[in-house]
Structure 1
Amino acid sequence: MAQIQIKLVKSVIDRPERQKRTIQALGLGKIGSISEKENNPQIAGMVAAVKHLVEVTEL
């Protein structure tokens, strides 16, 4: 499967707890942090839930 690169571009402060946990589960912490993951339905759903906070690029 294809790899995707996920970068946190907005803060999780004042966001719902569910979105904070999703960001953490994606392996992101601070603004600007980057995580590389396999592009599968589970990861795609997590990214869709926080699409307003992250930037995604395909590798």
Structure 2
Amino acid sequence: MAEKTIKVTLVKSVIGTKQSHRATVRGLGLRRLNHTVELQDTPEVRGMVNKVSYLVKCEG
């Protein structure tokens, strides 16, 4: 059975956000606006996405 993945895209700038939220975005592997990464669908990743949900778009 294949590993489940989700695609996360940074859709809003991190300028003016909390330092911990910037670190979370970097931890997800997102570097610049409209950058998309494919990550394993784990509770840890879901929590990170949930924390910065106002900055990212998640699909899959």
Query: 1:23-34 to 2 correspondence within 5 Å?
Result: 23-34=25-36
What's the CA shift for 1:23?
Answer: 0.2
- TM-score normalized with structure 2 length: 0.94
Aligned to 2:9: 7
Deviant stretches of 4+, over 2 Å: none
Whole-angstrom distance in 1 between the partners of 2:13 and 2:31? 9
What's the CA shift for 1:2?
Answer: 1.3
CA RMSD of aligned residues (A): 0.6
Whole-angstrom distance in 2 between the partners of 1:47 and 1:30? 16
Q: How many residues align?
A: 58
Q: Please give the per-residue CA displacement for 1:3-58, whole angstroms capped at 9, x wherever unaligned.
A: 00000000000000000000000000110001100000000000000000000010
- TM-score normalized with structure 1 length: 0.95
- Identity rate, percent: 33
Consecutive unaligned residues in structure 2, runs of 5 or more: none
Query: 1:30-41 to 2 correspondence within 5 Å?
Result: 30-41=32-43
